[in-house]
Amino acid sequence: MHKALPVVLLVFAATIVAAASRMPLLAQADIPGATLRIEVQQPIADDKAAEIVEWLQSASSNVSLAYGRFPNPSPRVVVIPAGHGSWVGSSPVPFGRVTRDRDEKIEFFVNPDRPIHEFYADWTATHEFSHLLLPYVRSRHKWISEGFASYYQNVLMARAGRYTASEAWQKLYAGFERGRLSRPELSPNEAAVAGVRKARMKIYWSGAAIALLADIELRERSGGRESLDVALDRFQRCCLPSRSSWSGPRLFAKLDSLLDEPVFMPLYRQYADAAGFPDIGPALQRLGVRLDNNSVSVTPHAELADLRIDITSGRPPL
């Protein structure tokens, strides 16, 4: 059972009168470190709109599990009914996107006919909200923004209890395989230039692989004092929200400047312009994530089993 905070329902109730004139329903939702400004466009029934506000509150709270707060203190969230076109399919959230003009806005196209429990099981909102952990990254380095969001959508869904740890690693493993098989002749940078229509899996999952490699290296070499969470926490404190666009090297160099030793630019130099897929196999083996009889499993006795547990549990650094 999902319960909204009272402030959400009170703000929402104050705006229901707008429904008669087909005006958007407006709401606010408090989450750790932020207040969402939510606009639910019509036609969506009032009771379903209230449920959607609660779901958005929950999904955005997932992202606060990265480092204890949401990365933007006052983002705008717009919910748009997707209608009944063939592109909608059976997904409760067939499409989402982040725009960054005057402020950061997250748009979700939703199928209000789907039951609300399907929204909570869907990863789209966690993925889109995870984009705000980074600034706008230029399109020629799109694999960084999409990849980090793909990594975190699974990690954070596990931390929130929407996935089991095993399910999260199964989904990550499957994503890495899709990326490995996609356009092997292209480097991540070349895939980003080719665009999502031609190299979607390469773009999304090469960046996720590099996020995992960075997370493992940071946690292992620091004895748990540093992690990808910690790096992004420090970055948010200095640099977010950001109105400028960032190149991949500028972003990675800045992240490295916030760490004891660099990790991001060495990975960039190794993989960004190299054809193929980041060499993720040895890292997965050390974590104890492996393929057995066409099924992904995790082993409790792997070299980095404790580190693997820390990633999906969100256990804070030492």
User: Would you state the pLDDT for residue 7?
Assistant: 42
Q: Which of 1, 250, 295, 254 is nearest to 141 (CA)?
A: 250
Lowest mean pLDDT across 103-112, 194-203, 211-220, 293-302: 293-302
User: Would you state the pLDDT for residue 49?
Assistant: 94
What are the CA-CA distances from residue 289 to residues 15, 42, 209, 313 (Å)?
49, 45, 14, 16
Tokens matching residue 207: 């960046």
Q: Read off the pTM.
A: 0.92
Overall average pLDDT of the 84-92 stretch: 71
Element (H, E) at 245: strand 245-246
Tell me 56's DSSP state. H
What are the CA-CA distances from residue 36 to residues 33, 123, 175, 264 (Å)?
10, 19, 30, 31
Q: Any idea where the domains of the chain sit in the sequence?
A: 6-133, 136-313
Domain 136-313: which CATH class?
mainly alpha
Overall average pLDDT of the 101-115 stretch: 93
- The residue type of 104 is E
- The greatest distance separating any two alpha carbons of the chain, rounded to the nearest whole angstrom, comes to 61
Average pLDDT score over the chain? 91
Element (H, E) at 206: helix 196-222
What are the CA-CA distances from residue 212 to residues 13, 148, 307 (Å)?
43, 9, 12
Confidence band of 86 (pLDDT split at 50, 70, 90): low
Q: Residue 78 forms beta bridges with which residues?
A: 39, 107
Taking CA 233 as the corner, what is the angle to CA 228 and CA 236, rounded to the nearest 5 degrees? 125
Overall average pLDDT of the 75-94 stretch: 83
In 20-110, alpha helices (H): 46-64
pLDDT surpasses 90 at 22: no
Quote the radius of gyration of the chain (alpha carbons, Å): 20
User: Would you state the pLDDT for residue 162?
Assistant: 97
What are the CA-CA distances from residue 39 to residues 81, 128, 130, 133 (Å)?
12, 16, 20, 22
**pLDDT, tens digit, for every residue of 272-314?**
999 999 999 999 999 999 988 778 999 999 999 999 999 999 8
Q: Which of 63, 111, 110 is nearest to 229 (CA)?
A: 63
Tokens matching residue 267: 């990975």
User: Would you state the pLDDT for residue 9?
Assistant: 43
**pLDDT, tens digit, for every residue of 131-168?**
999 999 999 999 999 999 999 999 999 999 999 999 99
Q: Are 34 and 70 in contact (CB under 8 A)?
A: yes
Q: Say how many CA atoms lie within 13 Å of 185 toward its Cβ.
A: 2
Signed CA dihedral, 111, 71, 234, 189: sign only: positive
pLDDT above 90 coverage of the chain, percent:
83
